[in-house]
Amino acid sequence: MAIIIGFPRIGENRELKRALESYWAQKISEQDLLNVAQELRSAHWEHQKDLEFVCVNDFSFYDNMLDLSLSLGAIPERFKGLAGLELYFAMARGAKGIPALEMTKWFNTNYHYVVPELALQTPYLVNAEYIHKQYKEAKAKGFNIKISLIGIFTYLALSRFVDNASFEEHFQAIKKPYLELVAQIAAFEQNPQQITIQFDEPIFVRGEHKEFYNKIKDFYDEIKAIGINVFVSCYFEEAKEALELLAQSKIDGIALDFVYGSTKGIQCLKSTSKRLFAGVVDGRNIWATPLQQRLELLKDIQKILPQTNISVSSSCSLLHVPYTKAKEQKFPEDVSKKICFAYEKIEEIKLLEAKFKNQCTTAQESQWDNQYTYSQNTQSPTQHKQYPIRRKETYRERILMQHSIFKLPLLPTTTIGSFPQTTELRNLRRDFKKGIIDTETYKDGIKAYIRDCIALQEKIGLDVLVHGEPERNDMVEYFGEQLEGFAFSQNGWVQSYGSRCVKPPIIHNNVSRKGTMTVEWILYAQSQTDKIVKGMLTGPVTILNWSFVRDDISRKEVCTQIALAIADEINDLQNAGVKIIQVDEAAFKEGYPLRKEKVAEYEQWATQCFRIATAVAKPEVQIHTHMCYSQFNDIMESIQSLDADVISIECARSGNNLLKAFKEYNYIHEIGPGVYDIHSPQIPTTENIKKQIRAFLEVLPKEQLWINPDCGLKTRKNEEVHPSLTHMIEAVKQIRQEL
Ligand code: GLN
Ligand code: ZN
């Protein structure tokens, strides 16, 4: 029978988000929160009841990696004395001066997990109670159960070793407690054969971490020896290397991703009796499955393995897609029929399984006959407009022209774009969207914000000003809403981390620009000052990486279409006299493929798209870009090939280490390393900022540096931004005198 790898948990109407936030605000009790969780789990299992199993322990109050840390008792020293949910949320979010664990992206999704902190002395107090509770709930309802557990290799590879001990040492330290946890789960039933665990091992698809490959078979044999049913799931790519090892082990089944990976290599399962869960329905994108095509794929697999061993599955957990399109009312009909969220995907999975095994009910037969088929003629008419794909003048030539026009002081100061978003501002945008206020009132409100923002920056003494982005609710959504080819769901929320959800734009058709998107606001801002105001755009790669993207043409093609639309906007901005334009690529790094051999291709088209978007700029127009991370070592070549005149980066938390990568690479373009951390409410002192600038000057020549905060200011309060920027300017003034 068919399965899924996992289900979302935030709730069809984000019930878990609301409950968590009310609990944190002490508006509901712990029992209230537990009740909401229990109701959600049962509702989710109801939707899975016709599958072979319902998923247990895929639910989480915050994150599954964190759950496993707690089940294993991998709790860092600093949380000593805390227990229960208080401990759990302290690890997730920090508490009373105790910093939280770090959080980082789960593979190449937009989901973030809580990074375990392990030391060899970690006492590891194993406790399967929380899993048992969920197990009993599902069992009481009579469901057939599959327990989700993150596999030991994935857990370890994604952990932070605080003691710098080796992987080998940590593996030896954690192995026993991990096996103990599995043994405790096995003991949920008198007969362990009644227990099924799915071990999630997406780390296997990276093909890296060679140090553990020789352990995979033995470890899973030990797990199997406990007597339970063992499945291992590998997703987001193909698991080539690990697949052979798993095939040799004694486990019962393997789940593979045939949407993002291929069926190559499954021959090794032939001489085994293992079950294969064929991930043929995309668990992380939202399009209706091309059923006929996937049926053919299943039949191809059947040429290698007996049909009875093959089951249809989602490619990965459905955590990465919204709940249902049933309540969406605003999709145009042609868009709506192309879309499938989690509930609809479960229907597809059941249908494919039934068709594959010739077990369709009459209803399913007609469902099959009425399936939506991709019209294969949705070709992309990227009319390659006559835009250059590379700027004609070299950086040296351009920067000289720019300097002679701008006449900026040494160490020019600027910000990354957004200024604090106030409640009034959010209400203004919301009221306008709802039609409560008219366009004129809305525009007056935005203009008032821009006037204040410009006046503030002049008063503080910044050199290059911004309009503050008051008209933007989100840096991708704002552009998506104004471009052809995008659609927006009303309730298509996907968990990003903890209680935070995002509603990614949906790119369903060819992208093009309907009209100018930012010119009016930038010009208004410029009309309020004699200083230079930067135009502010989101880059093509970031728009792509933060959206659900159509999959009937390549990502490269979609990205090129977006790039051409951005080029249109840059052209209009420069023709209107805008001298500096920033093209944010906050998510450039997020799109990197998981497997090394695919990286070069991504880099090639992603950097090309950025260049297509920006090469339209005249040499005297300065192109800035901004990226919010602090790991550049392995992407320096791409940074260079973007050919931006100035790049601003996050740096405030890593001293000048980050800059060294630029220096070593001999990067000559200008750089604005963040001089203070905007993610913290702390107001940096002038002295601290001076220290930071001096550290930068140790690495790079003064002529190459800009001075700015490390990201946009929209999440900060005015009371924080004002003194912080004042200190920044004061620091720069003092440093300039020393130079
Ligand atoms: N220009 C954007 C802002 O300032 C950049 C945001 C980001 O990098 N995430 O808000
Ligand atoms: Zn940023």
Higher pLDDT, residue 209 or 31: 31
Helix (H) or strand (E) holding 148: strand 145-150
pLDDT value for 164? 86
Question: Would the CB of 418 count as within 6 Å of ligand 1?
Answer: yes
Active site residue 679: yes
Residue 570 has pLDDT above 90, yes or no: yes
Catalytic residue among 209, 384, 508, 679: 679
CA distance to 125, 246, 283, per residue, from 199 (Å)? 20, 12, 17
Residue range 694-722, pLDDT digits in tens: 999 999 999 999 999 999 999 899 999 99
Match 């010739």 to its residue by tokens. Answer: 358
Answer yes or no: are the C-beta atoms of 114 and 63 closer than 8 Å: yes
Answer yes or no: are the C-beta atoms of 617 and 567 closer than 8 Å: no
Residue range 464-483, pLDDT digits in tens: 999 999 999 999 999 999 99
Atom index in ligand 1 nearest the CA of residue 418 equals: 4
Q: Whose CA is nearest to atom 9 of ligand 1?
A: 586
Residue range 425-445, pLDDT digits in tens: 999 999 999 999 999 999 999
pLDDT value for 380? 58
Q: Which ligand is nearest to the CA of 416?
A: 1
Residues sharing a CB contact under 8 Å with residue 722, sequence separation 6 or more, in sequence order? 456, 460
Q: Whose CA is nearest to atom 4 of ligand 1?
A: 712
Identify how many contiguous H helices and E strands the chain contains and give both numbers.
25, 22
Answer yes or no: are the C-beta atoms of 375 and 311 closer than 8 Å: no
Confidence of residue 381 (pLDDT cuts 50, 70, 90): low
Mean pLDDT estimate for the chain: 95
Which of 47, 19, 46, 45 is closest to 33 using CA atoms? Answer: 19
Question: Would the CB of 710 count as within 6 Å of ligand 1?
Answer: no
Residue 172 has pLDDT above 70, yes or no: yes
Residue 364 has pLDDT above 90, yes or no: yes
Angle at 341 between CA 337 and CA 346, to 5 degrees: 105
- Hey, which of 711, 714, 715, 721 would you mutate to test ligand 1's pocket, going by the most ligand atoms within 8 Å of its Cβ? 711
Question: Would the CB of 650 count as within 6 Å of ligand 1?
Answer: no
Confidence of residue 653 (pLDDT cuts 50, 70, 90): low
Residues sharing a CB contact under 8 Å with residue 606, sequence separation 6 or more, in sequence order? 541, 559, 588, 591, 638
- The mean per-residue pLDDT over the stretch 576-580 comes to 98
Distance CA 487, CA 489 (A): 7
pLDDT value for 679? 83
Residue 385 has pLDDT above 70, yes or no: no
What one-letter code names the amino acid at 157?
Answer: A
Residues sharing a CB contact under 8 Å with residue 65, sequence separation 6 or more, in sequence order? 113, 114, 115, 116, 150, 155, 158
Residue 603 has pLDDT above 80, yes or no: yes
Distance CA 325, CA 320 (A): 14
- Cα 80 from chain centre: 31
> What tokens does 63 get?
């994150």
Partner residues linked to 624 by β-bridges: 582, 646
What one-letter code names the amino acid at 593?
Answer: P
pLDDT value for 210? 81
pLDDT value for 466? 98
Radius of gyration from C-alpha coordinates of the chain: 27
pLDDT value for 613? 97
pLDDT value for 378? 55
pLDDT value for 707? 98
Residue range 513-538, pLDDT digits in tens: 999 999 999 999 999 999 999 999 99
Query: Judging by DSSP bridges, how do beta strands 117-118 and 500-502 pair with one another?
Result: unpaired
Distance 183 CA to ligand 2 centre (A): 45
Distance CA 44, CA 50 (A): 12
Residue range 249-305, pLDDT digits in tens: 999 999 999 999 999 999 999 989 999 999 999 999 999 999 999 999 999 999 999
Residue range 111-127, pLDDT digits in tens: 999 999 999 999 999 99
Residue 387 has pLDDT above 90, yes or no: no
Q: Which ligand is nearest to the CA of 583?
A: 1
Q: Which ligand is nearest to the CA of 679?
A: 2
pLDDT value for 121? 92
Q: Which ligand is nearest to the CA of 624?
A: 1
Q: Whose CA is nearest to atom 10 of ligand 1?
A: 712
Lowest average pLDDT, out of 70-84, 129-143, 628-642, 660-674, goes to 628-642
- Hey, which of 465, 478, 479, 584 would you mutate to test ligand 1's pocket, going by the most ligand atoms within 8 Å of its Cβ? 584
Residue 623 has pLDDT above 70, yes or no: yes
Distance 416 CA to ligand 1 centre (A): 6
pLDDT value for 245? 95
pLDDT value for 375? 63
Question: Would the CB of 627 count as within 6 Å of ligand 1?
Answer: no
DSSP 225: H
Distance 650 CA to ligand 2 centre (A): 7
Residue range 538-560, pLDDT digits in tens: 999 999 999 999 999 999 999 99
Distance CA 678, CA 701 (A): 25
- Hey, which of 414, 418, 546 would you mutate to test ligand 1's pocket, going by the most ligand atoms within 8 Å of its Cβ? 418
Distance 415 CA to ligand 1 centre (A): 10
pLDDT > 90 in the chain, percent: 91
Backbone angles phi, psi at 111, to 5 degrees: -90, 145
Distance 418 CA to ligand 2 centre (A): 10
Distance 677 CA to ligand 2 centre (A): 11
pTM over 0.85: yes
- The mean per-residue pLDDT over the stretch 607-622 comes to 98
Question: Would the CB of 711 count as within 6 Å of ligand 1?
Answer: yes
pLDDT value for 386? 76
pLDDT value for 211? 85
Q: Whose CA is nearest to atom 8 of ligand 1?
A: 586
- Hey, which of 626, 651, 677, 679 would you mutate to test ligand 1's pocket, going by the most ligand atoms within 8 Å of its Cβ? 626
Residue range 300-350, pLDDT digits in tens: 999 999 999 999 999 999 999 999 999 899 999 989 999 999 999 999 999
